[in-house]
Amino acid sequence: MERGNIRTCQSCGMPMSTREHFGTEADGSPSKDYCTYCYQNGAFTAPDITLEAMAKIGGGMMSQMYAIPIEKAESFTKEHLACLKRWAGREIPVCESCGMPLARDDDAGSEADGSPSEAYCAYCYRDGAFTEPDLTREQAVVKYAPMMAENLGMPLDKAQEMVGYYLSTLPRWR
């Protein structure tokens, strides 16, 4: 795996780290945006699926993997999916440190010259520097997992597993 080349499928949210994960365009070239489950030969494999139906499938898997109550898993998945290009109509970047969607201008952090950061959110990055420059991935897991466990009603060890996996897909921690 090369550094920095993980893409998130802009339909289902799956991280795509190897060539096999990517779908195909009509000419056989790899899709830039979509995974092999969602997109084949230049078209969606399930063209009529709704955001709700997709959230049900994804939420069901999350619920099983991480022992999250099904309704919470589905609503969490739906929020996450709603930021993807297929559902939002445009690709919304996420903070490369914490994964928060940078949907609005004030969500973005700031560079030293005051211009908005294109990579990081306002919580993680201000005036051209990380707000917690020495934070390690392990510490970030310890920091974020209890919030996740509380929000999603899941056991802490499962939350740690989920956050650890999620952070490993973000450029800051790879």
Interaction of residue 170 with Zn ion, rule CB under 5 A: no
Would you say 11 or 160 has its CB closer to Zn ion? 11
Cβ nearer to Zn ion, comparing 22 with 66: 22
Which stretches of 55-146 are assigned E, i.e. beta strand?
A: 108-110, 116-121, 125-126, 129-130
Q: Which is nearer to Zn ion, 121 or 149 (CB)?
A: 121
Q: Which of 124, 141, 163, 167 binds Zn ion (CB under 5 A)?
A: 124
Q: Which residue has the tokens 């999250």?
A: 68
CA-wise closest residue to 57 among 86, 85, 37? 37
- Considering only 31, 33, 35, 66, the residue that binds Zn ion (CB under 5 A) is 35
Please choose, from the candidates 170, 173, 167, 166, the residue with its C-alpha nearest in 3D space to the C-alpha of residue 65. Answer: 166
CB distance 55 to 38 below 8 Å: no
Binder of Zn ion out of 62, 84, 94, 98 (CB under 5 A): 98
Which is closer to Zn ion, CB of 63 or CB of 97?
A: 97
The 55-94 contact track toward Zn ion, x by CB under 5 A, reads ----------------------------------------
Asked whether position 145 contacts Zn ion by CB under 5 A, the answer is no
Q: List strand residue ranges (DSSP E) for the chain, in order.
A: 7-8, 15-16, 22-24, 30-35, 39-40, 43-44, 108-110, 116-121, 125-126, 129-130
Nearest distance in Å: CB 31, Zn ion? 9
Q: What are phi and psi of 32, to 5 degrees?
A: -80, -25
**Which residues in this chain contact Zn ion in the complex, by CB under 5 A?**
9, 11-12, 14, 35, 38, 95, 97-98, 100, 121, 124
